[in-house]
Structure 1
Amino acid sequence: MTISQDKSTVIRPFPHLCCPLDGAGLTLNDKTWRCEHGHSFDVAKQGYVNLLPVQKKRSKDPGDSKAMVQARARFLAEGFYAPLAEALAAAVLTQPVGALLDAGCGEGYYLRHVLDAANARDVACKAAALDISKWAVQAAAKRDPRVSWLVASNSSIPVPDHSIDTLLCVFGFPVESEFSRVLSADGRLIMVDPAPSHLHQLKQVIYDEVKEKPSNLPVSDTWTLVSEERVTFGVELPSRELIHDLLAMTPHLYRASSAGRARAEALTSLTVTVDIWLRAFTPNV
């Protein structure tokens, strides 16, 4: 059964959205979200809504480019990061999920794994996901109708205060004030971040010097670390195309020199280490 054919009633879209212009609640009527002050936002044909006003964009086309999203989708579809997705789903399901928000969802790979695992265990939840990249949200929305897909920013999350029970930030950029605002009293923030050895072999190819990654936690001491797991495994990439997609889906593509990128493009195979911190936090009261 494909995701688009899933008739489960356990996983539902998150219905409580807010107007990005004035914060008022939005109501869905005939594929348009409207607030009481007359602002309206149409649902795109792919099934998402754009709640990122022009005045809040820092560029004309913010976030991951279409090419980055396509590269990530191709790479992740090969299953190379499946152990990470499975570990994330297991971490989420250690407690009731409730209202779930993926803040920085990309093309939706990790969220789909979480929702599939929840569905398999008959765990109910209402899911929303946002990304600042319209290309990422378009790709995600096409594949999974179970989610309220939003083009939006972590710096201004269009949901009510304390309405989210499980907040995911996977390789993302936490905005602590907003994360604290949207989390419920018993809510959890679950974060996925690179550990020191992540993609070390690729970095050795593209950089003249590989710098040690700081060991600091990704959030301040206004949060309490409640669990921590390190997920580490090897991945063998047997083709130039897969190596290119891995590089293209990461920020390293733009950080590397032209000489470094050329060295990577010349490779026909590469074994890399995936090394990830999987952590759960709660906000200090």
Structure 2
Amino acid sequence: MTVTPFNALACPLDGQVLTLDGRALRCPSGHNFDIAKQGHVNLLPVQQKRSADPGDSKAMVAARQRFLSAGYYQPVADAVSAATLEDAPEGEPLACLDAGCGEGYYLRHLAGASNAPLSLMGLDISKWAVLAAARQSRPPSPPLGIRWAVGSNASLPVRSATLDRLLCMFGFPVVSEFQRALKPGGVWLQVEAGPEHLRELRDIIYPRLKAPRAEDADTPAGFTLASTQRVNDRATLRSAEEISDLLAMTPHLYRATAEGRERALALTSLSLSIDVVIKRWVKVG
């Protein structure tokens, strides 16, 4: 594993090149962004926030960190890493952005899965998620050299046509921004829940399940679909704490009725279906 510095950053205020100057990132116009002692940087201007503390809360991030560290989603991480490294260009580090990186589980897994040089950045609108990601990438953990930043998918702080890969894990894609940031021939990997994902949990917390969504027929502007992969597995949670963490890290915590949440949180074990879809979209041109 070789991770080189991610140097394709752009100023979130004017789009100019950001360069490292001591413990800060600066653009030619003089905009300055300090690097925190944990190693991350905040590239989310106040005018791009929709709330005082956007994104996942500190408690949600902690629950996700505990759940993912137990390894239940490792088959998903393995498949995402393989799909990311597929047809990787030779000669230069693979420049990859995880847009909505959470606490960094999938990007850290990618860093450990590759023998090729990588240039990696994780971006999330939640300051708590980025802080957790940065802390896990520094000593006493093995230092990974990944750039972590608070920012928005709606305005990626990345220079145009600089990315080889862009990951969007269970997140909110912004097609125009993804198209702008990727190189011609670059790959956007959209990872989403399949129709059977966590079905057993959903059976418990909802009075009735919605019909599965129809597959999107429209191709995003500027992209062509290279492949679709489905990852299926089983997981057995063996404590009320693990079930609580899973519920807390998903949107189901807020969508379920109070009665549904109570039924789930009363359980001490739960066998689950894992069903995830990975789509590889290639930028045309």
Please indicate the TM-score interval, normalised by the length of the shorter structure. over 0.9
Which residue of structure 2 aligns with residue 87 of structure 1?
A: 79
Is the alpha carbon distance of 1:265 and 1:133 closer, same or farther for their aligned partners in structure 2, counting shifts above 3 Å?
A: same
Which residue of structure 2 aligns with residue 165 of structure 1?
A: 164
Deviation by residue 1:99-152 (Cα, 9 ceiling, x = unmatched) = 11111100010111111111xxx2112111100000000000112241111100
Is the alpha carbon distance of 1:219 and 1:175 closer, same or farther for their aligned partners in structure 2, counting shifts above 3 Å?
A: farther
Choose from 95, 101, 104 the match for 1:108: 104
Which residue of structure 1 aligns with residue 212 of structure 2?
A: 213
Choose from 119, 130, 133 the match for 2:123: 130
Is the alpha carbon distance of 1:114 and 1:148 closer, same or farther for their aligned partners in structure 2, counting shifts above 3 Å?
A: same
Deviation by residue 1:19-68 (Cα, 9 ceiling, x = unmatched) = 11111111111111111111100001111000000111000000001000
Cα distance between partner residues in 1 of 2:64 and 2:28: 39
Residue pair 1:99, 1:165 contacting (<8 A) in 2 also: yes
Partner AA of 1:142 in structure 2: R
Q: In the TM superposition, what is the alpha-carbon distance from 1:215 to its structure 2 partner? A: 2.8
CA RMSD of aligned residues (A): 1.3
Q: In the TM superposition, what is the alpha-carbon distance from 1:225 to its structure 2 partner? A: 1.1
Q: In the TM superposition, what is the alpha-carbon distance from 1:219 to its structure 2 partner? A: 7.0
Give the TM-score taking structure 2 as reference length: 0.93
Cα distance between partner residues in 2 of 1:280 and 1:215: 18
**Paired-residue identity, %:** 51
Cα distance between partner residues in 1 of 2:134 and 2:4: 14
Cα distance between partner residues in 2 of 1:248 and 1:15: 35
Which residue of structure 2 aligns with residue 117 of structure 1?
A: 113
Which residue of structure 2 aligns with residue 195 of structure 1?
A: 194
* 1:151 pairs with 2:150: yes
- After TM superposition, list the pairs within 5 Å mapping 1:44-59 onto structure 2: 44-59=36-51
Cα distance between partner residues in 1 of 2:44 and 2:252: 26
- Number of corresponding residues: 274
Which residue of structure 2 aligns with residue 99 of structure 1?
A: 95
Which residue of structure 1 aligns with residue 141 of structure 2?
A: none
- After TM superposition, list the pairs within 5 Å mapping 1:217-232 onto structure 2: 217=216, 220-222=219-221, 223-232=223-232
Cα distance between partner residues in 2 of 1:76 and 1:38: 40
Which residue of structure 2 aligns with residue 282 of structure 1?
A: 282
Residue pair 2:183, 2:283 contacting (<8 A) in 1 also: no
